Every structure is written in C-alpha cells, then in structure tokens.
Amino acid sequence: MTTVTVRPAVFVFASCSHKDEVWRGRLVGHLQNLFKLEENLEVWDDRRIDASADWRREIEETLVQARVAVLLVSTDFLISKLIRGNEVPEILRLRQSEGLRVIPVIVRPCSWQAAIPWLASQQARPKDGCPLSEKTPTKAIQDFWALCFEICGLFFAEYHLPDLANRLGRIGERLVAINRTGDAEPFLRRALAIDEGTFGKEHPNVATRLNDLAQVLLAGEAEPLMRRALAIDEAALGRDHPTVARDLDGLAYLLRSMKRPGEGVPLTQRALAIDEAAFAKEHPTVAGDLNNLATLLMDADRLEEAEPLIRRALDIFERSLGPDHLDTQGVQQNLWKLLDKMHPEEDE
C-alpha cells in the first residue's frame, strides 16, 4: 500500500538548480519570517528525494499537494534535465488541471524568454525584469519580501485576510523592538494596505496601522500619517475617547522631536483633559500626560507653567507606583532638570 505524506497547510514547491541554493535558502528564510507564528510551513525541493527513490513519482506526489510552485530561474535551471524533464511538465499539467499557482523568479541573468515559450507568457518576478543577482542587496531583499508577501496572501486570502495583516503587523513590531526599523517598514506598509482594503480607509484599525508605520519613518513622513490616524479615531470613536488621547500624545511627542514643542502643548492639554474625564484624576495615565505636558512646556521655555504639572505627576506616581518605579524615577529626573533650568545660579 502506497503511503502519501500529508503536507502542511502552507506548502510551497521550489524548483531550482542546486547551483542556486543560496536563493532557495533566502526564499525559505523570508517565508519562515512571515509564517514564524505557524508550524505548518514547508518549502520542498528535489534535494529532499532519497537517492534510491522513484524521482518522477516523488515529484508528482509532492507537486499535487502544493499550492504554489516557485521557479528560481537561471541558466542552470534552464539546462537541468531533471527540471525540464520531470518538474516542469508536471507543474504545467497541474497549473492547467488544478490551478497550481506558478511564480517564476529570475535569480540570475539568462535567456529565459527565448528558452521556454510557456515561461515567457508568465509574469516573472521581479516585475521590472532585472535578475535578483544584478540588483543592490537592499533592492534584492525588497523584491524578495514582495514575492513572499504575494505567496503569503495566496494562502490567507481564502481564509480571513485581517489575520494576515495582524501577522505582518506583529512581525513589524518585533523588528521595531530590536531596532530594525528599516526591515519593519515593508511589513507595516503591507499590513496597512490590507486593512485599508478590508475595512475601508476610515476604520480605527487603519488608524492603528498608520501610527505603527509612523514609528519607523522620518518625522516629516510620519506627521501626516499620525494626523490622519487622529482624524480617523476622532470621527469613529469620538473626540473624547481615550484612544484619541493616545493619538494626541503621540503626535505631540513627534512635534517635540521636530523642535516644535509649542504646537504639541495644546494637543497634550487635550489628551490630559480626556484622560482626567475617562480615569480618576490620580490615575497613572493622567500622571503620564502631566509629565508629557511639562516636558513640552520646558522645551518651549515655559518653565513656570511646567513646575506644578511635573510635581503633580511625581506625586501621583509615588503614591500609585512607589518611589522606586522607573516611571517615578523618570519624572523625578525631569523635575531636577526643570529646577536646574529655573535656578541655574544655584549650580555655580
């Protein structure tokens, strides 16, 4: 009795020459990053076939279970007898009969359009037609991410697309946490695009994605995204919702980093008023708003206004979190900085 291996739900067939192993490895690595929260990913290629096995049968049984076939095309791919004689015919048959998705990827320069007529009719990747090996490392990585996003979308589109956006968003957040903001950007942009398409451009989920993306952009690019997120949340949740307060605080912090603290003051004042109404006036969230407002006033050289706010924030944190808490100590340091600015002569 023949036993057919049951493949995982996310099963990709990779057809490539052994001389292009480095590109197969990169494909696997990028896909594992996308599916790292899942254990049901497998990328299969003919290296997995035992020397004593029936190669043709093994390839046929494997391909019939694949959802996507990725062809890593190079001159060595085109001249491989195994690929041309066994893998390609079965891939073409399944594309026609089962709707197998075939994605050619040009990894090294070759005359692929002339060598294989059916391949010339396919939309190869990268879409600009330039082989990956001829691109800068940064551009090649970007193109590989685009390919993996495409593959990822094929597996999740028929299920619940927002799950894909959440998955991409979490990967982006992890990359931000380890200070790889450049790597995080494509994940966060893709998550935003999915949620815009799924929920509409004025949904609170989109506002969250906009704020997440703004974290990894330069200030000038981030500001319009954060203002758009604020407008979305105000319209969807109401002007006095605590989420709006967080948007206001975030935008004010950005303006402070852009040396525009005066513009941030009224935003944080609004956030403080919202949180005082939503929480108790002695709540740590309110203390955080007070501290944020005080630092903006300090940067705007409005020291007299800052002092009572920062003292109130310190008092709330000491009573609610204790004197040794990091938030308490941070506010204490801000108070010392304020007093140094107010009384510089005492340091002399």
Task: List where CATH 3.40.50.10140 sits in the chain.
Answer: 1-158
Q: Mean per-residue pLDDT for 5-16?
A: 66
State the pLDDT at residue 316. Answer: 97
> Which tops the pLDDT comparison, 49 or 69?
69
Q: Mean per-residue pLDDT for 66-82?
A: 89
Give per-residue pLDDT as tens, 195-222: 999 999 999 999 999 999 999 999 899 9
State the pLDDT at residue 115. Answer: 63
Q: Mean per-residue pLDDT for 152-180?
A: 74
**Predicted model pTM:** 0.66
Task: List where CATH 1.25.40.10 sits in the chain.
Answer: 160-237, 238-341
Q: CATH classification of 238-341 is 3.30.1360.120, yes or no? A: no
State the pLDDT at residue 1. Answer: 39
State the pLDDT at residue 317. Answer: 96
Q: Mean per-residue pLDDT for 307-311?
A: 97
State the pLDDT at residue 39. Answer: 46
State the pLDDT at residue 313. Answer: 97
Superfamily of domain 1-158: Toll/interleukin-1 receptor homology (TIR) domain (3.40.50.10140)
Give per-residue pLDDT as tens, 139-157: 888 888 888 878 876 766 5
* Three-state secondary structure of the chain: CCCCCCCCCEEEEEEECHHHHHHHHHHHHHHHHHCCCCCCEEEECHHHCCCCCCHHHHHHHHHCCCCEEEEEECHHHHHCHHHHHHHHHHHHHHHHHHCCEEEEEECCCCCHHHHCHHHHCCCCECCCCCCHHHCCHHHHHHHHHHHHHHHHHHHHCCCCHHHHHHHHHHHHHHHHHCCCHHHHHHHHHHHHHHHHHHHCCCCHHHHHHHHHHHCCCCHHHHHHHHHHHHHHHHHHHCCCCHHHHHHHHHHHHHHHHCCCHHHHHHHHHHHHHHHHHHCCCCCHHHHHHHHHHHHHHHHCCCHHHHHHHHHHHHHHHHHHCCCCCHHHHHHHHHHHHHHHHHCHHHHC
State the pLDDT at residue 186. Answer: 83
CATH architecture of the domain with residue range 160-237: Alpha Horseshoe (1.25)
Please, what is the average pLDDT of the chain? 85
Q: pLDDT-derived band of residue 266, with 50, 70 and 90 as boundaries?
A: very high
